[in-house]
Amino acid sequence: MPVITLLTDFGMQDEYAGIMKGVILSINPAASIVDISHCLSPYDIVNAAYLIEYYYKYFPKGSIHVIVVDPGVGSNRTILAVLHNGHYFIAPDNGVLTLLCEDGEPEKIIKLLRSKWFLKPVSNTFHGRDIFSPVAAHLSNGVGMEEFGTEASRNTLVTINIVKPEISDNGELTGEIVSIDRFGNLITNIDTKKLDEFFLIAGEKNFHIIVGNKKIDKLSLAYEHAGQNNPLAIIGSRGFLEIAVNRGSAEDYFEAKKRDRIRIVKVFNYGS
């Protein structure tokens, strides 16, 4: 039986995530449901896009990933079922799948148009309950994707402009903070590939990572390699540069917020 994962910005205070599970289990009582997170910042399509492209690879092929980060709920935006790399994704067509589709051409894209598979009546404010969840449940029961609507092409999907890290002509690497986790760690969009590219130009010594008006001058291998309450830079589990404070909050220390710029610059030591 396929796994169904849930990623939403609903939070845990209200009933929304629990009701989605109830709908799924009413249609397929044997469904295996995994919560990725329900605590994304409201409407944060960019963070969701990064998470989707990262987490799905840790699940078996055939898994069904339901993404409800959907500020356009009730509008004329489309809902999609996408087959990519052997995984199914049910998501609004609002750009949340931008990075996933950059990872390779989807095998199939279906616009969810056939209301026979939806709950009745369909609320204008809770498509997660009335459309996403029942479609995921029926898909897990073996209903073919084509039954839910009509096929679409990759070039018709909505995409969003996701800022990518860049190395300037003068050798400065610039990225941004994509998300801030519950520990206050600043997760950037600078991956190891881009860091390696920077180090080929600038070398692996004598550089500063600049966050606001503060600097870090090296990469650490573990949080404990900085003293308690001291800042550090580390490659996190997602493979991206993180700015942290050992047993503290980098969010507070740097007075940082999402989309703030991160700069990595070569420091020339003329005395050496």
- The CATH number linked to 221 is 2.40.30.90
With respect to residue 134, please indicate whether it lies within any of the assigned structural domains. Answer: yes
What's the rounded mean pLDDT across residues 132-140?
98
In angstroms, the CA 173 to CA 189 distance is: 11
Q: How much of the chain, in percent, has pLDDT values that exceed 70?
A: 99
Say whether both 41 and 131 belong to one domain.
Answer: yes
The answer to whether the beta carbons of residues 178 and 235 sit under 8 Å apart is no
What's the rounded mean pLDDT across residues 228-234?
96
With respect to residue 161, please indicate whether it lies within any of the assigned structural domains. Answer: no
What's the rounded mean pLDDT across residues 20-30?
98
Q: Alpha carbon of 169 to those of 201, 208, 241: distances in Å? A: 11, 17, 22
Tokens 């096929």 correspond to: 151
What lies within 8 Å, CB to CB, of 25 at 6+ separation is 31, 33, 137
With respect to residue 271, please indicate whether it lies within any of the assigned structural domains. Answer: no
pLDDT, tens digit, 9 for 90 and up, residues 243-254: 999 999 999 999
Is 50 exceeded by the pLDDT of residue 199? yes
Say whether both 208 and 177 belong to one domain.
Answer: yes
Model pLDDT, residue 269: 64
With respect to residue 234, please indicate whether it lies within any of the assigned structural domains. Answer: yes
What lies within 8 Å, CB to CB, of 169 at 6+ separation is none
pLDDT class of 147 with cuts at 50, 70, 90: very high
What's the rounded mean pLDDT across residues 131-145?
98
With respect to residue 63, please indicate whether it lies within any of the assigned structural domains. Answer: yes
Say whether both 190 and 121 belong to one domain.
Answer: no
Q: What is the pTM of this model?
A: 0.93
The whole domain housing 242 covers 166-266
Q: Tell me, what CATH number does 46's domain have?
A: 3.40.50.10790
Identify the domain boundary among 156, 184, 199.
156
236 burial (CB, 10 Å; 0-12 / 13-18 / 19+) is: middle
Q: How much of the chain, in percent, has pLDDT values that exceed 90?
A: 91
Say whether both 129 and 195 belong to one domain.
Answer: no
Say whether both 110 and 203 belong to one domain.
Answer: no
Higher pLDDT, 204 or 96: 96
Run of H or E residues at 8: strand 3-8
Say whether both 22 and 134 belong to one domain.
Answer: yes
Say whether both 141 and 192 belong to one domain.
Answer: no
In angstroms, the CA 231 to CA 3 distance is: 39
pLDDT class of 205 with cuts at 50, 70, 90: confident
What's the rounded mean pLDDT across residues 236-242?
96
Say whether both 100 and 137 belong to one domain.
Answer: yes
Number of domains in the chain: 2
Say whether both 233 and 183 belong to one domain.
Answer: yes
Tell me the sheet residues that pair with 175: 262
pLDDT, tens digit, 9 for 90 and up, residues 48-98: 999 999 999 999 999 999 999 999 999 999 999 999 999 999 999 999 999
